[in-house]
Amino acid sequence: GTQSFVVTMCDPEAPTVTGFWHWAVVNIPGSVTELPAGAGDESGSGLPQGAFQLPNDARMARYCGAGPPPGHGRHRYIFAVLALEAERIEIDREATPAWMMFNLFNGTLGRAFLEGWYER
């Protein structure tokens, strides 16, 4: 069964070749069913014990909310929750979310997605 979770948020419509990773949290215990409001702040104090945030594409280890460039049109924001068979993943705290996702391909039991749209 599920031993841990990863939560991410990305914007595939960002004006880059690969989109923009806004958030990645690893090593959330498998018993956790929700994260409190503000869990993605820079301190990470709202995260469960053992969980930590990877740097987003702005190189900040925190949640970076929706903020497409003004006039760029609607952007899709995808939250993903991955259920993992490992209790924790060994990953450098400076690794990118893209690197993490690439390396989780074989250890993921299931995934769920929530999409939202935003424009300025």
Question: Positive or negative CA dihedral for 6, 59, 38, 10?
Answer: negative
| Eight-class DSSP state of 91 | -
- pLDDT (tens digit, 9 = 90+) per residue, 22-41? 999 999 999 999 999 999 99
Pick among 3.20.20.70, 3.40.50.150, 3.90.280.10, 3.30.70.270: CATH of 4-118:
3.90.280.10
- pLDDT (tens digit, 9 = 90+) per residue, 58-96? 999 999 999 999 999 999 999 999 999 999 999 999 999
Mean pLDDT for the stretch of residues 13-24: 94
Mean pLDDT for the stretch of residues 3-25: 96
Token pair of 45 as six digits: 């104090």
Report the run of H or E that residue 113 belongs to, with start and end. strand 108-118
The predicted structure's pLDDT at residue 117: 97
CA distance 106 to 111: 12
Q: What is the pTM of this model?
A: 0.94
The predicted structure's pLDDT at residue 105: 85
